[in-house]
Amino acid sequence: MYGFEAMSFNIHGGYLEAIVRGYRSGLLTAADYNNLCQCETLDDIKMHLSATEYGPYLQNEPSPLHTTTIVEKCTLKLVDEYKHMLTQATEPMSTFLEYCTYGHMIDNVVLIVTGTLHERDVQELLEKCHPLGMFDSIATLAVAQNMRELYRLVLVDTPLAPYFSECITSEDLDDMNIEIMRNTLYKAYLEDFYRFCQKLGGATAEIMSDLLAFEADRRAVNITINSIGTELTRDDRRKLYSNFGLLCPYGHEELALCEDLDQVRGVVEKYPPYQSIFSKLSYGESQMLDKAFYEEEVKRLCLSYEQQFHYAVFFAYIRLKEQEIRNLMWISECVAQNQKSRVHDSVVFIF
């Protein structure tokens, strides 16, 4: 019952909620980012990071550092924290935590399939996979020739199996089909996650619905923008939009017809919660759209911490940590390539 979570949430979730709030307090602040942005070399970055929570993970790295090493170690910290929480969680929190990683699983599957298509080595691809989305038998994906084999050999044993019902065809895998497969899987995953949160009810349902609706709308806009000018038909485009969210169904009708960015802007600006995103961009500019979306997402994720006794804080923490890792990657790349003037282009401050 909404409003009375406080009476029974702490039996199973109280300890882990306190732990995740502790992790959140360890996220880098604006002051940390300012220090990092003023670094000259990657070793300076390592020195600054060793004063933060990342210290134990980076201190044993030999110089010279690479940006990929920094990102890998920071991701390792996220994975350690996630596993710590997952092992202590009971149902339904453990299912909720697992749902948070299915997106990465989908990305890993697509990465390996695409890489195999372009004749890359499987071991190399496995190293690039996101650790949160690993599962056993992931290496077998390299063997499959079409989606039906993909499903039958590997994916039927994974949690992604139910999402495949809509996209099993016997066509051979090529770049276009793989992108469509990725988006179809992600759509099924979001809808499944949404239904699961609705079933949990209470504050979790309300806050997660808001966060997932924003995710669904953001993906709809990105799919629209990325498929302008490609051979994706309007009907195919409509099939990739999720069936929940603010933009569904009228916004989706209009988005399916859009042919350039200004039309997309016109559609999305009709929805007051999203007006602030496009107002930051001048007409015709699309590079800053990603950053605007990330800023809006971070704002909503931070708001979820204002309420106690629900599961959305876990989802929010994983997302905020990923944003922090993206920030660190951007800063490291800018420093490594001596482009420090562009450092603030893509860093989203969390606090």
Partner 1 sequence: MAYSSSWSRALVQISPYTFSAIGIAVAIGISVLGAAWGIYITGSSLIGAAIKAPRITSKNLISVIFCEAVAIYGVIVAIILQTKLESVPASQIYAAESLRAGYSIFASGLIVGFANLVCGLCVGIIGSSCALSDAQNSSLFVKILVIEIFGSALGLFGVIVGIIMSAQATWPTKAA
Q: Which residues bind partner 1 (CB under 8 A)?
A: 6-7, 10-11, 14-19, 21-23, 25-26, 308
Q: How far is the CB of 14 from partner 1 (least distance, A)?
A: 3
Nearer to partner 1, 10 or 140 (CB): 10
Q: How far is the CB of 297 from partner 1 (least distance, A)?
A: 22
**Measured in Å, how far apart are the chain's first and last C-alpha atoms?**
32
Which 8-state DSSP code applies to residue 272?
A: G
Q: Check if the beta carbon of residue 100 is closer than 8 Å to that of residue 72.
A: no
**What is the rounded distance in angstroms from the CA atom of residue 191 to the CA atom of residue 213?**
10
Sign of the CA dihedral with 21 first, then 22, 26, and 30 last = positive
Please give, one letter per residue, the 3-state secondary structure of 159-227: CCHHHHHHCCCCCECCHHHHHHHHHHHHHHHHHHHHHHHHHHCHHHHHHHHHHHHHHHHHHHHHHHHHH
Closest separation in Å from C-beta 207 to partner 1: 17
| Bond from prior residue into 159 cis (ω within 30 degrees of 0) | no
Least distance to partner 1, CB of residue 93, Å: 13
Residue 330 to residues 80, 122, 125, 144, 327, Cα–Cα distance (Å)? 23, 27, 22, 34, 5
Nearer to partner 1, 11 or 136 (CB): 11
Comparing CB distances to partner 1, the nearer of 19 and 117 is 19
- Ramachandran assignment for 309, one of left (phi > 0), alpha (psi -120 to 50 degrees), beta (any other): left
User: In this complex, which beta carbon is closest to partner 1, that of residue 95 or of residue 308?
Assistant: 308
Taken in order 316, 318, 321, 323, is the CA torsion positive or negative? Answer: negative
Closest distance to partner 1 from the beta carbon of 23 (Å): 8
- Least Å distance, CB 17 to partner 1, is 7
CA distances from 249 to 270, 291, 335 (A): 13, 26, 44
Shortest spacing between CB 11 and partner 1, in angstroms: 7
Reported as half-sphere exposure (CB side, CA atoms, 13 A), residue 158 has a value of 28
Q: How far is the CB of 308 from partner 1 (least distance, A)?
A: 6
CB of 46 to partner 1, least distance (A): 23
CA atoms within 13 A on the CB side of 135: 22
Nearer to partner 1, 56 or 266 (CB): 56
Burial class (CB in 10 A: 0-12, 13-18, 19+), 256: buried
Residue for token pair 């800023």: 295
Residue among 27 and 329 whose Cβ is closer to partner 1 = 27
* Rounded-to-integer distance, Cα 18 and Cα 226, Å: 40
Would you say 296 or 324 has its CB closer to partner 1? Answer: 324
Cα–Cα distance measured from residue 24 to residue 314, given in angstroms and rounded to the nearest whole number = 10
Nearer of residues 1 and 11 to partner 1, judged by Cβ: 11
